[in-house]
Amino acid sequence: MWKTVLRRILLMIPQIIILSLLVFFVAKLMPGDPFSGKINPQTDPKTIEALKHQLGLYDPPLVQYGHWIQNIFKGDFGQSYTYNRPVLGLIGERAANTFWLGLLTAVLTYAVAIPLGLIAGKNEGKWPDRVIAFYNFVINSVPPFAIYLIFLILFSFILKIFPSTGTVSASAHGFVQIFFSRIYHMILPAIAMMLSGTTAIVQYLRSGIIDNTKEDYVRTARAKGVPEKVIFRKHILRNAFLPIASSLGGTITGLLSGAIVAESIFSYPGMGQLFLQSVNSRDYSVMITLTLLFGILTLLGNLLSDIIMSIVDPRIRIQ
């Protein structure tokens, strides 16, 4: 199997090169440039022109692409035009914020969704199943941004339990205070994102359990007198988890790609918010680095999912 994994990784190289070309040239095709927004009667257009030349924005696109790739191999992803600092440091800072929020959200999501799915699946058609189905129905029909806004208004402004903005309080000092302040700031967005993340998992797990209960091998095990607990754990649950496992790779890499809408609403400076801003202000270096990163994360996520599947499901083999 590992040979195949290696081959898949090697195959990713041309994919990434094509992706980088696409990302770079499509970004350049967008109207405007990082200086479009900087018009002001006191700023001399000549100064702006000179700066654009200095920064190589007038070089032929292929030359610019060449420079960009060359610098990437030196570990230099360029400077952000908006923040006037190296892209890598900027993304690193935001990635850390996004990662911890993503991790908390993922942990909460599984911690809530799995028990709900189990209960619903085990009690098919009974009242707990119906309550959970109702929950799923409601959450699934409300768009996530509405949930975020409701949470923000309810818990932050009306009940004033949680902060409405940022990752850490301005008055927090020292490791312990900052640590708890960070968690405190993450709880509200994490719970809000968790809600909309649970529905699919609950549904998969519920139907997985119900379907597997009717499988031949379960009936066989029952006929052989295997204890019901063992049947559930070994035969039903393990198979019911397969669809969830198949999306696990994406979930893991998704920890880094952030959530554009949630981060904007909760003013949480993570990758999603940075991406949106870089597109709006034509901050090319940040925009293309992030797009490339998201692309690579998706490719890796798919590979990871396949590997996980092959481990948990002996019927699947990566060829």
Partner 1 sequence: MIKLKKILSAGVTLLAATMMVACGSSNSSSSSSSSSTKNTDTNSAKVTFKTDSKKGDSKGGDLKVAEINDTPFSANWLPEIQTSAIDEHIMKWASEGLFKTDDNFNIQDGGPANIKFDDKAKTATITINPKLKWSDGKKVIAKDLEYSYEIIGNKDTESERYNDQYENIEGMKEYHEGKAKTISGITYPKGEDGDSIVLHFKEIKTGMDVSGNGWYSENAEPYHYLKDVAFKDLQASKQNKVAPLFFGPYKVKHIVSGQSVTFEPNKEYYRGEPKLDSVTVSIVNPATLSQQIKAHKFDIIEVRPSNWKSVKNTSGYNYLGVKPMAYSYLGFRVGSLDRVKNVNTENPKAKMGNQNLRQAMAYAMNVDQVVDKFSNGLGYRDTTLIPTAFGEFHDSKAKGFPYDPAKAKKLLDDAGYKMGKDGYRTDPDGKDLTITFSAMSGKPEQQAIVNNYIQKWKDVGLRVKLLNGKLTEFNSFYDNLKKTNQGNIDVFMAAWSLSSEPSAAASMWSSNQPMNFARFSSKTNDKLIRDVQSQASATNHDHFVKSMIKWQDNMNKEAYIVPLDRAYNVYAVNKKVENYSRKLAFDDYYNVGLSK
Applying CB under 8 A, the residues found at the interface with partner 1 are 30-33, 36-48, 50-51, 54-55, 79, 82-86, 93, 145, 149, 152-153, 156-157, 160, 164-168, 170-171, 173, 261, 264-265, 267, 269, 273, 276-277, 280-282
Question: Which of residues 141 and 171 has its CB atom nearest to partner 1 in the complex?
Answer: 171
Question: Which of residues 94 and 206 has its CB atom nearest to partner 1 in the complex?
Answer: 94
Please name the residue that has the structure tokens 């610019």: 64
d(CA 283, CA 84): 10
Question: Which of residues 21 and 150 has its CB atom nearest to partner 1 in the complex?
Answer: 150
Min separation Cβ 265 and partner 1, Å = 7
161-189 in b/e form (b: 16+ CB < 10 A) is: ebbeeebbeeebeeeeeeeebbebbbbbb
Min separation Cβ 85 and partner 1, Å = 5
Question: Which of residues 108 and 274 has its CB atom nearest to partner 1 in the complex?
Answer: 274
| Structure token pair of residue 230 | 């063992």
Question: Which of residues 99 and 135 has its CB atom nearest to partner 1 in the complex?
Answer: 99
Min separation Cβ 255 and partner 1, Å = 20
Min separation Cβ 208 and partner 1, Å = 35
Min separation Cβ 222 and partner 1, Å = 53
d(CA 217, CA 240): 14
Min separation Cβ 190 and partner 1, Å = 18
d(CA 20, CA 73): 13
Looking at this protein, which amino acid is placed at residue 159? L
Count of beta carbons in the 10 Å neighbourhood of residue 81: 23
Question: Which of residues 171 and 319 has its CB atom nearest to partner 1 in the complex?
Answer: 171
Q: Report which secondary-structure segment, H or E, holds 189.
A: helix 174-213
Compute φ and ψ for 159, nearest 5 degrees.
-85, -20
Count of alpha carbons within 13 Å of 265, Cβ hemisphere only?
20
Question: Which of residues 110 and 145 has its CB atom nearest to partner 1 in the complex?
Answer: 145
Identify the DSSP state of 85. Answer: S
Min separation Cβ 272 and partner 1, Å = 11
Min separation Cβ 63 and partner 1, Å = 20
Question: Which of residues 116 and 274 has its CB atom nearest to partner 1 in the complex?
Answer: 274
- CA–chain centroid gap for 206, Å, is 24
Report the SS3 class of residue 230: helix
> 312, 245 in Cβ contact below 8 A?
yes
d(CA 57, CA 53): 6
**Cα-based torsion angle of the residue sequence 287, 292, 298, 299 in order, rounded to the nearest 10 degrees:** 170
